[in-house]
Amino acid sequence: MATEVIVPRMGWSMEEGTFQEWLKRDGERVEVGDMLFVMEGNKTAQEVESFDAGYLRLPPDAPKPGDAVVVGQRLAFLTDEDDLEPWKDAPRAEAGPGHQIPTDKSPGPATSQAKPVRPGKSISPRALRLANEMDVDWDNIEG
């Protein structure tokens, strides 16, 4: 099964950014928490962390350094080792509504697009990785 690697929203007003570079090679094993690629947003360039594990598979239309990308755009896939070309079964990235830049600039209600790891509590990816490494059940921590 393949998991899509998409362009994250790196700020409230970010709708597009510039792809800088891959930090992992095509076919290389990626673990949760590994830095996967560098994105330049509105203000700065940031390394983007992987939220899933698998083997990085770059489709033929994967962005090159300097390419403009939009929030939600599919960049690559994380797959099981035997899935060499997951993009053949996946729908085209441009087909989804998440890949369109909204034209209405009116302020709307703030909604969170990220799903919490556990209902009622949330944790940053870095804190989750540290908690897992240290065998800490973060769900029981108050604060």
29 inside domain: yes
Note whether residue 61 is domain-resident. yes
pLDDT, greater one: 140 or 107: 140
Please check whether residues 85 and 19 belong to one and the same domain.
yes
Look up the domain containing 41 and give its range. 3-94
Domain count, the chain: 2
Contacts of 5 (CB under 8 A, 6+ apart): 36, 37, 50, 56, 74, 75, 76, 77, 78
| pLDDT above 70: residue 5 | yes
104 within some domain: no
Question: What tokens does 123 get?
Answer: 């944790």
Let me know if residue 101 belongs to a domain. no
| Least confident segment among 52-61, 78-87, 104-113 | 104-113
Say whether both 24 and 60 belong to one domain.
Answer: yes
- Average confidence score pLDDT of the chain: 76
Residue 120 lies in a domain: yes
The model's pTM is 0.57
Cβ count near 113 (within 10 Å): 9
- Are both 81 and 119 inside the same structural domain? no
Give the CA diameter of the chain: 46
Q: Which DSSP helix (H) or strand (E) runs through 68?
A: strand 68-70
For residue 31, is pLDDT > 80?
A: yes
Q: Are residues 85 and 129 in the same domain?
A: no
